[in-house]
Amino acid sequence: MTTLNMVIAGATGRMGRALLEGVAQAGDLHLHGALERDGSALVGRDAGEFGGTVGVKLSHDLAATLKGAHALIDFTRPEATLEHLKICRELGVNIVIGTTGFTPEQKQFIADAGQDIGVVFAPNMSVGVNLSLKLLDIAARVLNEGYDIEIVEAHHRHKVDAPSGTALRMGEVVANALGRDLAECAVYGREGVTGERSPSTIGFATVRGGDIVGDHTVMFAGIGERLEITHKASSRATFALGALRAARFLARQGKGSYDMQDVLGLK
């Protein structure tokens, strides 16, 4: 069995620590490097302090850390991720991206990198969430008339983007199944006298508070019945395990631009 060398970006953050623990517990993965931003007081500390493999020091030098690595896993911020992607592309190192909040142009930049390296980019790495996306596609095609669609998501108080990338992806899947453009039919907030609901819209509601890891519900509300497809994450471990599964997929698959539907064989 080949051991894959993993590098974790943002290693001391909430997701970074979950990834460090996931790598440490996997028999086929090795923590090759752990990254923190330049200037952080944590640079030079041992990754073992944050749940990772003892003996790996936190570094800010991505290019040096990537030498000998098979993949970088990045759940940081859009600006940092795009800089990391450039270096991965130059060095021929695969990348798994779980960062959210990208513009359409930035998403295209990520997709283009698949010409040179393996890229898995998904707003949510959870196996359950990605199965939910498949179920949403089926539900939207069946419930294509007479049902109002609303998406409700909840996350912890520290999340900076809204709606979540997962909620937006759920909206995209539903809109595509219905032959709609989400950019034209999405409603992101309601206040005051809004008038009756247009049947062509897809509504979003956002909740932020406490330590909620991530809850998503898509509601198909008809006359006399309501179907809800819900996913609730109770631990960041589910995202970490999905990301590690994606890294293994890239080791087998090679260069190209993929998402978790590809990783799970749901396409």
Active site residue ranges: 155, 159
Phi first, then psi: what are they for 58, rounded to 5°? Answer: -70, 135
Closest CA to 27 of 218, 237, 193, 244: 244
The encoded tokens of residue 32 equal 């090759």
Which residues is 88 bridged to in the sheet? Answer: none
How far apart, in whole angstroms, are the C-alpha atoms of residue 168 and residue 166? 5
Judge whether 120 and 250 are in contact, CB under 8 Å. yes
